[in-house]
Amino acid sequence: MAYTVTFWGARGSIPTPGAHTARYGGNTSCVAVEADGRLVILDAGTGIRGLGLTLVGQNGSVQAEILLSHTHWDHIQGLPHFKPFFAPGNAVRIWGSKQGSKSLDEILHLQMDPAVFPIPLTAVSAALTVKEVRPGGEFTVGPFRAQSMQLRHPGTTLAYRLVPVAGGRSMAYVTDNELGPGGSYDTPPSWRRELVQFLSGVDLLIHDAMYTPAELDSHRGWGHSSYEEAVELAADAGAKRLVLFHHEPEHDDAALDGLLAAAQRSAKRRGAPVEVIAAQEGMQLSL
Ligand SMILES: [Zn+2]
Ligand SMILES: [Zn+2]
């Protein structure tokens, strides 16, 4: 089965609109995966607003499956502005982990509490379903078999690997993940080996590459990786293509050009056959 992967938001932490970020884009995490008219959305950062506008502009009802890596603001902030929510006949199913004792459903309602947002989640007219995913959980979503794995990031943060049920190329969405030492996370000592296995031979790996190696030194324990670590992981796992993702808000287009070139040199130095690119808003890949 062939499918497309479209980047609607590639930024981490906070939106960064403006002339200096116009090429890579300022919207936060949102990636649309489309196959045979079926849609799976990875994260609901501010990029999901534009995707929602496109969806309601098409004929017919919207059936959207949204997989959340976790519920930090930059991964859910676009949700209240996702237009398909506000038309009867549409159906939205949201998958993700609970956080501590708070259910995913509770967290999504809190985001639209009257204290911070004018319209409560109970007022949406689309059919809404919330499904909790446990780390290591497997489920079928749209035309894909999805596997999840816990990442090294504050809270419960999930990676997703998608494999077409009908056969075809695989992809993995791995963002907000600290590959290096630092931080205190609820993951076993064998975690990195398990992650390499989880990603083994994946055709497309989208991975957190927030920092340069120099910046990483002052951000240990923040739950993110450098491009160098992302390249190393892609090489170890035998990924065919690596997309650098979750761009640091202070990296403008020129800085990201430099970061990408350095990541490509790093892959070459390692003799890794992986193709390295950087996520840009509007970029579409075919698998
Ligand atoms: Zn994030
Ligand atoms: Zn996060």
High-pLDDT (> 70) share of the chain, %: 100
Residues within 5 A (CB) of ion ligand 2: 72, 176
pTM of the predicted model as reported, rounded to 2 decimal places: 0.98
**pLDDT exceeds 90 at position 82:** yes
What's the Cα-to-Cα distance from 103 to each of 10, 76, 176, 194, rounded to whole Å?
27, 15, 20, 27
The alpha carbon of 55 and the centre of ligand 1 are apart by a number of angstroms equal to 24
Question: pLDDT tens digit string along 198-232?
Answer: 999 999 999 999 999 999 999 999 999 999 999 99
Q: Distance from the CA of 16 to the center of ligand 2, in angstroms?
A: 16
3-state secondary structure of 236: helix
Cα distance between the two ends of the chain? 8
Ligand 2 centre to CA of 2 (Å) is 30
pLDDT tens per residue, range 226-280: 999 999 999 999 999 999 999 999 999 999 999 999 999 999 999 999 999 999 9
- Residue 182 above 90 pLDDT? no
Query: Of the ligands numbered here, which is closest to the C-alpha atom of 210?
Result: 1
In the predicted model, is pLDDT for residue 36 greater than 90? no
Over the stretch 83-123, which tens digit does the pLDDT of each residue have?
999 999 999 999 999 999 999 999 999 999 999 999 999 99
Task: Say how many Å lie between the CA of residue 76 and the centre of ligand 1.
Answer: 10
pLDDT of amino acid 256? 98
User: Which pLDDT belongs to residue 169?
Assistant: 98
Q: What is the overall mean pLDDT for the chain? A: 97
Rounded mean pLDDT, 190-203: 98
Residue among 18, 16, 17, 6 at smallest CA distance from 43? 6
Q: How far, in Å, is the centroid of ligand 1 from the Cα of 175?
A: 7
CB 96 within 8 A of CB 104: yes
- Compute the distance from residue 153 Cα to the ligand 2 centre, in Å: 7
The 10s digit of each residue's pLDDT in 124-134 is 999 999 999 99
- Identify the pLDDT of residue 59: 82
